[in-house]
Amino acid sequence: MALIEKAPAKINLSLDVLRKREDGFHDVEMIMTTIDLSDRIELHSLDEDKIEISMESRYVPNDERNLAYKAAHAFKKKYAIKTGVHIGIEKNIPVSAGLGGGSTDAAAVLRGLNRLWNLNIPLDELAVLGATIGADVSFCVYGNTAIARGYGEQIEVLASPPPCWVVLAKPNIGVSTWTIFNRVKINELYHPNTKRVMEALYEKDFHKLCQYMGNSLEPITSSLHPEVSQIKQAMMNIGAPGVLMSGSGPTVYGLVEHENKARRIYNGMRGFCEEVYLVRLIG
């Protein structure tokens, strides 16, 4: 038995860091939406009780450190499954880029195993299990558009953004989420207006969305990696109406309403940056 599960990347339309908690995590408020840039997860049942991963990536380990492995392990343990699984991952989402690549692979494994072994576990339950693997896994279990609170595990589904194109530009560096959160100084943080971003989604107001999208972590990542602000400036100069860093970075994205303009910005950005993508929002 084998099946394919799509694992789409996410972008942050907003990311606010509210406070540092006693347990060391930060309370956040993040509006995320999925984009049409996906890994492809292939699952095969194995008679032997083991988890195998195959994936060609210089940056991601193929063993129990892989978030897809952790997801399969947590799933098998929770539901006492003695069957094994082979997980093939075609990696298309850039790694350590702020696009939730590892989290979406883990979420796709949870959804996929649920189908592979016909368990009919509700998504809400998979999302709770996902939170034990990583902060963004709960969101990725649902996909589409949602606000995540707590350390990222409390999900409330939101209206999807107005249809538009996304130009992504990733500088040639990887950023560790832990390093960026470690540099957060709560009293000095910039806070986006999350309420206005939510209004923009419900009103399907593209320009309001572009005006209010914001990310508390962007100044921190930019101070460590000036490439981030350079790419942001370049994308704004070329004419993208809304430009923001996603997650803890370093990927910068621009929202563009019309395809022709999006293609122009995509072509323009290829002069600045090696890794540029043009995709649609699917959230």
Beta bridge partner(s), residue 31:
14, 147
Rounded alpha-carbon distances, angstroms, from residue 1 to 42, 45, 92, 112, 257: 11, 6, 24, 12, 42
8 lines the binding site for ligand ATP (CB under 6 A): no
Task: Give the whole-angstrom CA distance, residue 192 versus residue 27.
Answer: 14
CB closer to ligand ATP out of 180 and 238: 180
Residue located via tokens 């209206």: 159
99 lines the binding site for ligand ATP (CB under 6 A): yes
177 lines the binding site for ligand ATP (CB under 6 A): yes
Which range of residues in 44-52, 58-66, 142-150, 165-173 is near ligand ATP by CB under 6 A?
58-66
Is residue 261 flagged as an active site residue? no
List 18, 81, 95, 123, residue binding ligand ATP (CB under 6 A): 95
67 lines the binding site for ligand ATP (CB under 6 A): yes
CB closer to ligand ATP out of 175 and 197: 175
CB of 43: closest distance to ligand ATP in angstroms?
14
Task: Give the whole-angstrom CA distance, residue 183 versus residue 233.
Answer: 23
138 lines the binding site for ligand ATP (CB under 6 A): no
Q: Token pair of 144, please?
A: 């589409």
Which residues, 6+ apart, have CB-to-CB distance to 16 below 8 Å? 28, 29, 30, 191, 192, 194, 214, 216
Task: Give the whole-angstrom CA distance, residue 223 versus residue 226.
Answer: 6
Is residue 136 flagged as an active site residue? yes
Report the interface residues with ligand ATP, using CB under 6 A.
Answer: 59-60, 66-68, 95-103, 105, 136, 177, 247-248
Q: Which residue numbers are catalytic? A: 10, 136
